[in-house]
Amino acid sequence: MKRIFLIVLDSFGIGHAPDAENFGDEGSNTLEAIKNSALFKADNMASLGLFNIDKNGGSLDTVGAYGRLQERSRGKDTTIGHWEIAGIVSDTPLPTYPEGFDAEMLEEFGRKCGRKILCNKPYSGTQVILDYGREHMETGALIVYTSADSVFQIAAHEDIVPIEQLYEYCEIARKMFRVGRVIARPFVGKYPDFTRTANRHDFSIAPPKNTMLDFLHEAGYDTPSVGKIYDIFDGKGVSKRNAIKSNAEGMEKALEYLEEDFKGLCFINLVDFDSLWGHRNDVEGYAKGIAEFDAWLPAFTEKMRDDDMLIITADHGCDPSTPSTDHSREDVPLLIYGKNIKNVNLATRNGFCDIAKTICDIFEVENDLVGISFKDIIL
C-alpha cells in the first residue's frame, strides 16, 4: 500500500458496548436509531459489509473486509476515541465536571480574560445560548459550560467577542483547566434566534505519548489531516492541516487528496454527525447525513488507485434517539476497501487500536503501540 485514507464518521456507533451500563448507555445504538428513517440509505456501506458486521444481522454479498471494534479505553469522548484509533489506550478517563468548574479557578479565568462568567454547568450547546445568550450580549460575560465529556466550552456572540479574541480566551483556559478539550463555540443572531457558527475550534490536550501519526511522520511518511484531527492531536505527527466547516467540505477535500501524489496516511474526521445531529437528538438529520456520505462513497472508491486503502470507522456513539444529548458508549464499525483487500469478516476485535497497529504494520514502521495488526488477514 502506498496511501491509506482513514475516515472517522464522528459518533457513528453500531450498538452499545459490553460495558455500556457503566456509562449509563445500555441499549444505545446510533445505527439502529437512524436506519428506520425514510431518509436513511446506506447501500454502498452495505456493500462494504456494514450490515454483515457481527450483531448487525445481514448476509449480503460484500467487497472488502469488515468488523466490529470495541473500545478498550475508559471513556466515550472524541479525544479518547481518536487517541485509541491512533494506538493509545487510556486506562484512566479524562476528568469530567458534572458540578461545574472550581469557582476560584473560574474567577481567576474571568480576571485573565477581563470578563465575567455565566452558567458554569453541564448544558446542551444550543440550549445554553438560548438561556444565557441575551445576558451575554447585554453584559459581555462569557458563557462557560461543560457536558458529560471532559470539555471546557466557551460560547460567545461573534459581534460581542471577535473570533480571534475568543480563541485567545480558549488558549488561556487550555493552560488553566485539566480537560480533554477546550472548545470555542461562537454564535450569531438575535434572541431567541441564535445560531452556532462553523467557526468552532477545539484546543485539545496533547497525547501522553507517540501515536501512529508520530511514528509514520518520523519514518518519512506523509500524514495530512482533514477536519479536527489536527486539533485532537495538538498537531503532533500531522504533516499538513486542512480545516473544514462541514462534512461536504471534508468529503471534497478527501477527493482532492486522491489526486495528490503522496505516500502515507490521510486522516479524516467528519464531525457533522456528532455536532449537528447526534448532540441535537436529530434522528432525521443524522439519517440524511449518513445517506449523503453513502451517496458520495462511489465517487471516492472509483478513483482509488491499486495501491490505495480506505478505512471507515468511528470514535464513539451519540444515539440521537435517547433522552441524553451526550455521547454513548458504543462499538464502532470497521470497513476496509481496496483493490488488494480480501473479502473477509474480521468479527469483533478488542480495541480501536488495532487500526493503528495495522497501518504501521502495512507501512513497515516500527512502533510500541498497543493493538493487534490484522494486516495478514486482509491483504
Q: Where are the domains of the chain?
A: 3-92+206-378, 103-203
Question: What CATH code is assigned to 103-203?
Answer: 3.30.70.1250
- Please name every residue paired with 72 in a beta bridge, in sequence order, or none if there are none: none
pLDDT on residue 250: 98
Round to whole Å and give the CA distance between 51 and 66: 9
The pLDDT assigned to 225 comes to 98
Query: In the numeric block, which cell numbers belong to residue 125?
Result: 450547546
pLDDT of residue 14: 98
Q: So what's the pLDDT on residue 234?
A: 94
Q: Tell me the pTM.
A: 0.92
pLDDT, residue 309, reads 98
What's the confidence (pLDDT) of residue 60?
Answer: 82
The pLDDT of residue 59 is 74
Q: What dihedral angle (degrees, nearest 10) is formed by the CA atoms of 270, 274, 277, 278?
A: 150
Per-residue model confidence (pLDDT) at position 141: 98
Spell out, as residue ranges, where the chain has pLDDT lower than 50. Answer: none
Could you say which architecture CATH assigns to the domain 3-92+206-378? 3-Layer(aba) Sandwich (3.40)
Q: Residue 56: what pLDDT?
A: 81
